[in-house]
Structure 1
């Protein structure tokens, strides 16, 4: 169940950076499992609803993991990426101290 959360969050975090998203998508879709390839294609072509994603997160631990997955997926060097992370943190109801800690742990401070 959490795999879908992580995938959706990761895919959404790549949206501001199309070059990374397209290359990640290409490498991920090279697998042999047609069902997995179909799932990835469908997810990549669908815009994510951050509100729905946030509502489906069962607890703050998973919320922090999803936020960290986004941090790992992108290089936070554009305003679009910073806005996405701020919106994600807000919708996941992550405390500012938690967000700062996650950035520190990931070496982004």
Structure 2
């Protein structure tokens, strides 16, 4: 399975623009909680990754740049997925990232394909 390239700011703005049917240029930099919740749902559907954020981490995502950082990290952590017969990268399984998820930016995200069972 091949994953899409990690989203950049332009991709996140394009996703947000579909919320409220507006142009990417009309998207404000500051995100409201409803807009962020919608963005996470859109991201999970588009990238086939379940993003689990603690309430504390969710509350720290205030801007488009914050969201871009978290969403990119989730895609990168999930990796491209091994081809048939290839071993997964260390820490990456067919059901997503093992352990606590994305690290480095304080994120507590667990990238896992949508619908995968939780441990």
TM over 0.5: no
Taking structure 1 as the reference length, what is the TM-score of the superposition?
0.27
Question: Which is helix-richer, 1 or 2?
Answer: 1
TM-score, L = length of structure 2: 0.25
